[in-house]
Amino acid sequence: MDAQILTFVFVGLSFALYIGIAIWSRARSTSDFYVAGGHIHPVANGMATAADWMSAASFISMAGIIAFAGYDASVYLMGWTGGYVLLALLLAPYLRKFGQFTVPDFIGERYYSRTARVVAVICLIVVSFTYIAGQMRGVGVVFSRFLEMPIEWGVIVGMGVVFFYAVLGGMKGITYTQVAQYCVLIFAYMVPAIFISMLMTGNPVPQLGLGSNVAGESVSVLDKLDLALTDLGFSAYTEAVKSKIDIFAITLALMTGTAGLPHVIVRFFTVPKVSDARRSAGYALVFIALLYTTAPAVGAFARLNFIDSVHEKSYAEAPQWVKSWEQIGLIAWLDKNEDGVIQYGPGAPFEGRSEYVEGVGPHGERLLANAPTVSANEISVDRDIMVLANPEIAQLPGWVIALVAAGGVAAALSTAAGLLLVISTAISHDLLKKTFRPQITEKTELMAARAAATVAIMIAGYLGINPPGFVAQVVALAFGLAAASLFPAILMGIFFKWINREGAVAGMVGGLVFTLGYIIYFKSPWFGAVNSAENWLFGVSPEGIGSIGMVINFAVAIVVSRFTAPTPEKVCAMVEDIRMPVTKIA
C-alpha cells in the first residue's frame, strides 16, 4: 500500500480507538465528567497529562520552530519543561488537597467571592480559546496534507471527532483516550527520529545523534548546519539573535504560564490521593522528556535535510514532498530570476500575503498573485509542516509517514479535548451551579456542560481556520495570558494568606487586560502595528509579555490587599489546612 492509503488506515484506526474508548468510559455523573470520579491511577494520569500538555505545539510545531530559529527556540524547551516542574512542586499537590473540581472553584473559595470566581472563569476562557486555536490549526494542517482536503475541512473533521469523545465521555473518557493518544504520538515521534538519526549520523539515539558527526564526514551535525546557513547568508544555527531580555521574558512567561494552565491543573484532581498527584506529576515528566529531549535533534535534522532538498535544485528536480505541500499552500516558490532553479536564503520571499491563482508557471509551479519580490529568497515554507514532512524529506517508508500523520492528529486532539472540557466545566459548574443557578440538579448541570462544550468547539473551529500565527506562536500567547492572569492568583492563594478578594480580582483583571491588549495591538490586523523589536515595550515580544503582565498582577494584588479589609480568619485557616502535609496515624 502507498503512503496515502496507509495514512487513511492509520488515522481511521486511531479514530475508531478513541471513539471506542469514549463509548466504553462515558460519563454518567458530574464527578465522572469533571474529574473522572477521582479514581485514575498515577501512571495512567501521568500519560494522560503528558498527552494533554504535549499538544500540537510540541508534536507538530516546536521542532519546526527550532529548525528555523535555532538557538533562540530554546526558550520553548526551557520554558515548557521548567514550567511543568514548577507546577508539580508548587501547585499540584495543594490544589489536589483542596479537593474541588476546577481552578475557578479554588479561586472562588479561597478568595471568598463570586466576583473572583467569575473573573477566573473569564481568564480561563480567554486562555483556553487562544490555546485551542493552535490545536485546531494543527489538526487542519495534518488533514489537509495527508487526507487531501482543504485546511478548513480538516479542522471541521477534527471538530467532529473531538466533539464526540469530549462531550460523551467527559474527563473520564478524555483521560483514557489521552492514554491511548500518548502511546500513538510518542511512537509516531520517536520512530522517524530514530530512522533519520541513523541515516544522518549512524547513531540510533537522536539525542546523541545531534552531537555526533554526519555519517561519512568528519564534521558534526551542528557544525555542518552552522556552515550551511552562514554560507547562505543566515545567522549561525547555534547563535542567539533575540535579545537577552526577550529570551528571559518568553522563558519566564512559558514557565509560569505552564503552571497556570487550567486544563493541566485539573488533571491532578483526577487521582485518589494527594500523594498520587505528586507521583503522577513525576511520571508525566518522564513521559514528556522522551519527546522534549528528542525535539532539538529533529529540528536540526529537518533544517539540514530541507537545505539539501531544495537549495539550487531546479523545480523539475525538486522532491515530490515539495510539490505535495505546495498543492495545499504550505510551501510556495516564486521564480524571481526566471531560471527555473529554487534559491533559498534569508529574507521574506514575498511582501504581504501571496495567494495562489489558477494555472501553473513555465516550470510546473503553482502561480502566485500579489507577491512582489523583496529579497533573493524564492521559497516560503510553513514552520508547522517540518515534523510532518520530515519522513518524506528523508525518504522513509510509507508506513512511517502514515504513523506521523496519526501522531500529529493525536497530539492536537488530546489537548483540544482537555481544553474543551475546562471551558464547558467553567460554564456549567462555576458559572451556573456555583454562581447564578445553585438550585439546578446534577442532570441539568451535566446537560449544560455538554451544551457548553458544543458551543465551545464551534468557536474553536473558527479560531483554528483563522489562527493568529504558527501553532507554537499561538500556544505561546496562551501561556503568556495564563501567566499574567491565573498563575499569580493561584500561587498567592496557596502561600500568602493575607492576599484578599479585592487584591486577587484587581490583580487578575490588571494582568489580563494589559497582556491581552498588548497581544491584540501587535498581533491583530485591526491596529496595523509593526510587530518588531523597535516597537516592543522594554524590547519584550508579544510571546513574552505575559511575564510583565504577571508582575503587574502581583503588584496590583499586593497593593490593593494592603489597603482593603483583611482576609477572614476562616479563610486563613483553610489556607493553613491546604498547606499542612497529610500525616498517617498508626
How far apart are alpha carbons 98 and 413 in whole angstroms? 29
Report the 3 state secondary structure along 417-482: HHHHHHHHHHHHHHHHHHHHCCCCCHHHHHHHHHHHHHHHHHHHHHHHHCCCCCHHHHHHHHHHHH
How far apart are alpha carbons 113 and 98 in whole angstroms? 17
Question: How confident is the model at residue 186, as a pLDDT?
Answer: 86
Using pLDDT thresholds of 50, 70 and 90, give the confidence band for residue 373. low
Tens digits of per-residue pLDDT, 505-525?
A: 999 999 999 998 998 888 776
Question: How confident is the model at residue 513, as a pLDDT?
Answer: 94
Looking up cell 462531550 gives: 167
- Specify the higher pLDDT residue, 364 or 537: 537
- Specify the higher pLDDT residue, 341 or 134: 341
- Are 252 and 77 within 8 A, CB to CB? no
Tens digits of per-residue pLDDT, 493-505?
A: 999 999 999 999 9
Minimum mean pLDDT range among 226-230, 477-481, 562-566: 477-481
* Phi, psi of 93, rounded to the nearest 5 degrees: -60, -40
- Specify the higher pLDDT residue, 101 or 131: 131
How far apart are alpha carbons 344 and 578 in whole angstroms? 57
Tens digits of per-residue pLDDT, 374-404?
A: 677 888 887 778 888 878 877 778 888 888 8
How far apart are alpha carbons 337 and 322 in whole angstroms? 20
**H-run or E-run covering 41:** none
Q: How far is CA 281 from the centre of its chain?
A: 18
- CATH number for 10-302+392-468: choose from 3.40.50.740, 1.10.150.130, 1.20.1740.10, 1.10.4160.10: 1.10.4160.10
- Percent of the chain at pLDDT > 70 equals 86
> What is this structure's pTM?
0.80
Question: How confident is the model at residue 470, as a pLDDT?
Answer: 54
How far apart are alpha carbons 84 and 285 in whole angstroms? 8
What are the residues facing 356 on neighbouring strands?
A: 368
How far apart are alpha carbons 365 and 1 in whole angstroms? 28
Q: What is the CA radius of gyration of the chain?
A: 24
Length of the chain: 586
**Rama region for 354: left / alpha / beta (φ>0; ψ in -120 to 50; rest):** beta
Q: Is the dihedral of CA 241, 245, 246, 250 positive or negative?
A: positive
Characterize the bridge pairing of strands 379-381 and 366-369.
Answer: unpaired
Looking up cell 470566581 gives: 117
**Torsion angle in degrees (nearest 10) through CA of 573, 578, 579, 585:** 100
Using pLDDT thresholds of 50, 70 and 90, give the confidence band for residue 48. confident
Tens digits of per-residue pLDDT, 444-499?
A: 877 787 788 778 888 878 877 776 555 556 777 888 899 999 999 999 999 999 99
DSSP for 359-421? EE-TTSPEEEES----SS--EEE-GGGHHHHHHHHTT--HHHHHHHHHHHHHHHHHHHHHHHH
Domain ranges for the chain:
10-302+392-468
Q: Which residues of 38-50 are buried (b: 16+ CB within 10 A; e: fewer)?
A: bebbbebbbbbbb
Question: How confident is the model at residue 512, as a pLDDT?
Answer: 93
Tens digits of per-residue pLDDT, 351-366?
A: 655 677 777 778 877 7
Question: How confident is the model at residue 534, as a pLDDT?
Answer: 79
- Are 268 and 88 within 8 A, CB to CB? no
CB atoms within 10 A of CB 340: 16
- Are 422 and 351 within 8 A, CB to CB? no
Tens digits of per-residue pLDDT, 172-213?
A: 667 777 788 788 888 888 888 998 899 889 899 999 998 899
Task: Please name the residue ranges forming H helices in 89-150.
Answer: 92-98, 103-110, 114-146
